[in-house]
A and B are shown apart, each in its own frame.
Chain A
Amino acid sequence: MNLLVIGLNHRTAPVEVREQLATIQLSQLLATAALREAVLLSTCNRVEVYGLGDANAAAAIRHFLRDSPHLYELRDRDCVRHLGEVVSGLDSMVLGETEILGQAKTAYLAAQQAGATGIALNRLFQKAFSTGKHIRTNTAIARGSTSVGNVAVDLAQQIFRNLAPCTVMVVGTGEMSEATAKALHSRGAGTIMVCSRSHERAQAVAGQLGGQAISYDDWPARFPAVDIVISATAAPHPIITREKLIPLMKTRHQRPLFLIDIAVPRDIERTCGELENVFLYDIDDLQQIASQNVAAREREIAGARAIIAEHAERFWCWFELNLKQDRTVAPGDVAFSR
């Protein structure tokens, strides 16, 4: 009996290939006699079939995956390790991302409900999920944000007790400023004001974020109520200067102010960040933190791999003892479990 995984992912296959395979259904595979158990894991970055079967199983899965030239195949120990790496986010496009664990759980449950899993894959997946959870809590693989928007949110949470009473002002619209505002909004930022040279644009963005559009000339008047500023205008000169900010901070009673300058050329004078209770980050600062976080995650790979190898070895011992030699037992046979 062989344990194997065959599939393709974002590294081996371009999106054109992956999208062609995105529609395949597990039910098409279940009719195959060579396979005793199977789980189909299909996400936007990967399509993989985990299976337990006889010598013909690999050919059956390859056929099911339309004999794509981008397929990889891993057997036995390697297969166990691979699943561990996948659910831990080691094999993901964004290293350490956590979404994949949920996707793998959904895939496993779907296979289980379809009656496609048995004693081997049940144990394989359940052990992999606990490995993934263990790695997430015991290594820093999923720690620290890796996108500019989320880094800004992390910083906001290091400054403000609670984002709910915070007012966010977006000055100048653009992909990056909208993504940052969206990230703050999704983590509970209370009020969002959007102002742009084009009022229609401001209204459209405000609509998306459940905020209010304000006129570009109004923003200085609204400033005293604001806690977080996301600035991304195309202005050639700084729009917020130290001279302007000093009296504004007085009217705000020196409450903390978080300035996020993602404009190039910059919108906010660098010296504003020297003022007390003002925290200024420009696009380079945010990107630097994001890439530091990526590097920190990369440093955790070896540790995570060691944990996976240990867990995989334990599973493999169990598998060899109970399943490897036996070619007669039917899937899901309870008497076989110990």
Chain B
Amino acid sequence: MTDRTFIWLTVACYAVAGALTFWRLRGREAHPLNYALMLAGFALQTTFLYWRGQNLQRCPLTNTFETTVFIAWAAVLFYLLIGPAYRVSFLGAFSAPLAVALGLIALLGLNDSPRVTPLSRSAWVDFHAGIAILACGAFGLAFVAGIMYLVQERQLKSRKLSSSFLLLPPIEQLDVINYRLVLLGFIMLTAGMIGGFISYRIVGHWTRPKIVWAVVVWLLYGSLVAARHRWSVRGRRSALISVVLFALVLITFWGLNALR
């Protein structure tokens, strides 16, 4: 049994959690087991990251597999934190498929070989990478809230609501959650980039495409935050942008690592 088994178990937990809630779509509430299963999946995922970290003696972000697992872990972390606070039913149901997808892509498609050239060991390196990945987790959950917004908007605009329609949270609330997560992710990414520049100055080497990529992501999310305040870009438009941006972040991230 390798530590990857934990990720298989994690994926199973999230898949059951999501399926249970979608199965009860006509109910007013998300399935009571949803949160417990998400919590169980999260615990398994944490165990994996801890073991990897212990073995590597550093933050487990040394390859695409680990990083993708870390992004999924961070997204679930934010769900577990804000889900109960907002009493948002179905946020869990929609987060679960994202966590399952990221888990499966990591397990089946991504490189999990040990890094050939060892990275310099510095607390700043771990900090900047860790917080940047946490930011990606926030963007991931913003993506989930954005999808929910788009589904709910479609339902409301089609004017064909019946008692069996999907009982999503109010559209205004989804908009607020989406925005707050984007803002949170943006703040963390900013902190991560500052950490990155400090670690660059300390360890003295950086891979150019990754820096450019991070700056572009930072600029794009920054524009989304600014657009809301400057031009009242909210609702459908900002939900759609946050969905597209997160998809873009993942694809370019995987692509960038495959190229190297």
Within 8 A of A (CB), among B190-243: 232-237
A 190-201 binary contact with B (CB < 8 Å = 1; else 0): 000000000000
Which residues of the partner chain B approach A254 to less than 8 Å between Cβ atoms?
A: 232-235
Tell me the minimal C-beta distance from A331 to chain B in angstroms. 42
The yes or no answer to B171 lying at the interface (CB within 8 A) is: yes
A 277-291 binary contact with B (CB < 8 Å = 1; else 0): 101010001001100
How many pairs of residues, A versus B, come closer than 8 Å at their CB atoms? 67
Bound-state CA distance A256–B170 (Å) is 11
Tell me the minimal C-beta distance from A78 to chain B in angstroms. 30
Please state if A293 and B234 are interface contacts (CB–CB under 8 Å). Answer: no
Given contacts A155-B161, A289-B161, contact A140 B26 (CB under 8 A): yes
Please state if A159 and B171 are interface contacts (CB–CB under 8 Å). Answer: yes
Please state if A293 and B156 are interface contacts (CB–CB under 8 Å). Answer: no
Please state if B156 and A155 are interface contacts (CB–CB under 8 Å). Answer: yes
The yes or no answer to A328 lying at the interface (CB within 8 A) is: no
A 145-171 binary contact with B (CB < 8 Å = 1; else 0): 000000000110111110000000000
Which residues of the partner chain B approach A314 to less than 8 Å between Cβ atoms?
A: none
The yes or no answer to A174 lying at the interface (CB within 8 A) is: no
- A to B CB contacts below 8 Å, 22 in the list: A154-B161, A157-B170, A158-B155, A158-B168, A159-B170, A253-B232, A254-B235, A255-B172, A256-B172, A256-B175, A276-B237, A277-B234, A279-B157, A281-B159, A288-B159, A288-B160, A289-B160, A289-B161, A292-B160, A292-B162, A296-B162, A297-B163
Nearest B-chain residue to A294, judged by Cβ: B163
Bound-state CA distance A140–B26 (Å) is 8
Bound-state CA distance A250–B163 (Å) is 33
Known: A161-B172, A293-B162. 19 other contacts (CB 8 A): A140-B26, A140-B163, A144-B162, A154-B161, A158-B171, A159-B170, A159-B171, A161-B170, A161-B176, A254-B233, A273-B157, A276-B236, A277-B236, A279-B157, A285-B159, A288-B160, A289-B161, A289-B162, A297-B163
Partner of B156, one of A143, A159, A255, A288: A159
Which residues of the partner chain B approach A281 to less than 8 Å between Cβ atoms?
A: 159
Please state if B164 and A256 are interface contacts (CB–CB under 8 Å). Answer: no
Nearest B-chain residue to A289, judged by Cβ: B161
Partner of B172, one of A155, A160, A253, A297: A160
Nearest A-chain residue to B161, judged by Cβ: A289
Bound-state CA distance A304–B26 (Å) is 16
Bound-state CA distance A279–B161 (Å) is 13
Please state if B163 and A296 are interface contacts (CB–CB under 8 Å). Answer: yes
Nearest A-chain residue to B28, judged by Cβ: A143
Tell me the minimal C-beta distance from A42 to chain B in angstroms. 31
Bound-state CA distance A297–B155 (Å) is 20
The yes or no answer to B152 lying at the interface (CB within 8 A) is: yes
Bound-state CA distance A193–B160 (Å) is 29
Which residues of the partner chain A approach B160 to less than 8 Å between Cβ atoms?
A: 288-289, 292
Which residues of the partner chain A approach B175 to less than 8 Å between Cβ atoms?
A: 256
The yes or no answer to B111 lying at the interface (CB within 8 A) is: no
The yes or no answer to B173 lying at the interface (CB within 8 A) is: yes
Please state if B164 and A140 are interface contacts (CB–CB under 8 Å). Answer: yes
Within 8 A of B (CB), among A279-320: 279, 281, 285, 288-289, 292-293, 296-297
Please state if A143 and B163 are interface contacts (CB–CB under 8 Å). Answer: yes
Bound-state CA distance A140–B162 (Å) is 12
B 153-191 binary contact with A (CB < 8 Å = 1; else 0): 001110111111000101111011000000000000000
Please state if B235 and A277 are interface contacts (CB–CB under 8 Å). Answer: yes
Nearest A-chain residue to B238, judged by Cβ: A254
Bound-state CA distance A160–B171 (Å) is 7
Bound-state CA distance A143–B28 (Å) is 10
Partner of B235, one of A154, A157, A256, A292: A256
Tell me the minimal C-beta distance from B111 to chain A in angstroms. 42
Tell me the minimal C-beta distance from B63 to chain A in angstroms. 42
Nearest B-chain residue to A281, judged by Cβ: B159
Partner of B170, one of A140, A158, A253: A158
Please state if A279 and B234 are interface contacts (CB–CB under 8 Å). Answer: no
Bound-state CA distance A292–B162 (Å) is 6
Tell me the minimal C-beta distance from B174 to chain A in angstroms. 9
Which residues of the partner chain B approach A277 to less than 8 Å between Cβ atoms?
A: 234-236
Please state if B156 and A292 are interface contacts (CB–CB under 8 Å). Answer: no
Bound-state CA distance A334–B124 (Å) is 78
Given contacts A158-B170, A250-B232, A277-B236, contact A296 B159 (CB under 8 A): no
Please state if A160 and B170 are interface contacts (CB–CB under 8 Å). Answer: yes
- A-B pairs, top 8 by smallest CB distance, nearest first, are A144-B163, A292-B162, A253-B232, A296-B163, A161-B173, A254-B232, A277-B235, A285-B159
Bound-state CA distance A297–B152 (Å) is 23
Which residues of the partner chain A approach B237 to less than 8 Å between Cβ atoms?
A: 276
Please state if B172 and A159 are interface contacts (CB–CB under 8 Å). Answer: yes
Bound-state CA distance A94–B175 (Å) is 36
Bound-state CA distance A15–B180 (Å) is 57
Tell me the minimal C-beta distance from B235 to chain A in angstroms. 4
Please state if B164 and A296 are interface contacts (CB–CB under 8 Å). Answer: yes
Which residues of the partner chain A approach B171 to less than 8 Å between Cβ atoms?
A: 158-159, 256
Within 8 A of B (CB), among A207-226: none
Bound-state CA distance A144–B163 (Å) is 5
Bound-state CA distance A161–B168 (Å) is 12
Bound-state CA distance A289–B156 (Å) is 12
Please state if A158 and B232 are interface contacts (CB–CB under 8 Å). Answer: no
Nearest B-chain residue to A250, judged by Cβ: B232
Given contacts A159-B172, A160-B172, contact A292 B163 (CB under 8 A): yes
